[in-house]
Amino acid sequence: MTEPFTQAPGERKVLTADESATGRLDSWLAAALDGTFSRNRIQALIKEGSVTVNGTAVREVRHKVAPGDTIELTVPEPEAAVPLPEDIPLEIVFEDDDIIVIAKPAGLVVHPGAGNRSGTLVNALLHHCGGSLSGIGGVKRPGIVHRLDKNTSGVMVVAKNDFAHNRLAEQFADHGRSGPLNRAYLALVWGRPEQLRGTIDAPLGRSGADRTKRSVHRTERPDSRHAITHYEVRDRYGEAGGADAVASLVECRLETGRTHQIRAHMQHIGHPLIGDPEYGGAFRTKVNKLPEPAAAAVGRLDRQGLHAYLLQFAHPRDNRTLRFEAPVPADMASVIEALSMI
């Protein structure tokens, strides 16, 4: 154990686990640091990558500490209380006084959060729009009406004032039941769904193994949310496109908008997204069974093969129906082309 100490931002603290060390990393650090940080603060630092064990960053708070482990903690510099404008290029599809529609690239986080304090879409929007963004989403999410995962590309709409935010939020909450809202995605999945067209109606909640993931809950739980995805197979690759197809291109339309909905639902029916490390890890070895250049193209895809290609909604000011489509980005297009040659 160590004597109490005060650690300044940017300072590193190196600890060595003694022969009696055991238990979870967060618990061990809380005891070793003798109350310098709260348990919650330590967990946040671990998840942000500020803790290494034997030289390797560990982001799992349940990681087991072993005798002799060298554990290094670095307290990051304090972050700004609110996001700052950053000159990040945006692909603007449409813009007027009320809304801005952008084609988000894969790799761009929508709003600041743990581990992503800057370099987000919000930072880019603050630079582009100045003070005109809606404040309803709060200081960390100004103008954000809906979101896409960091590694999902595609079309998004952002509100530039509170009036537009309220009107758009109503449409997204209604899920298109009484209006023109429509959201469609193209997903590259392993195998071929047994039914070429179908609906996945399965509630989603936090996964017991990893709280950042979602899984289907067959029984009612407090965190379970109703989730419906409609899908249609657009193309099939390998084995003449039959039941033994290696992969498929699937169009998914959301009736609800839950976190990781398409990724979790496609995994649930046995066809996880190609390139998805969180929901498709069990299918990773399938790449080795692909012929070249398909294997090489899939290997270069460093994110889930998911693209929000279509967004349709009523303009918040005059109610006219707007429809926007974003072409499949180059990384997914390369995989589709290679798979088509099988």
Catalytic residues: 149
Report strand pairing: 153-159 vs 182-190.
unpaired
End-to-end CA distance of the chain: 60
Cα–Cα distance measured from residue 335 to residue 141, given in angstroms and rounded to the nearest whole number: 33
**For every residue of 151-195, which 3-state class applies, written as one string?**
CCEEEEEEECCHHHHHHHHHHHHHCCCCCCCEEEEEEEEECCCCC
Is the CB of residue 111 less than 8 Å from the CB of residue 120?
yes
Cα–Cα distance measured from residue 202 to residue 216, given in angstroms and rounded to the nearest whole number: 6
Cα–Cα distance measured from residue 46 to residue 36, given in angstroms and rounded to the nearest whole number: 15
Cα–Cα distance measured from residue 275 to residue 267, given in angstroms and rounded to the nearest whole number: 12
Contacts of 316 (CB under 8 A, 6+ apart): 98, 99, 159, 163, 164, 166, 167, 168
- Least Cα distance to 233 among 220, 215, 216, 245 occurs for 245
Is the CB of residue 183 less than 8 Å from the CB of residue 257?
yes
Is the CB of residue 112 less than 8 Å from the CB of residue 122?
yes
Give the length of the chain: 342
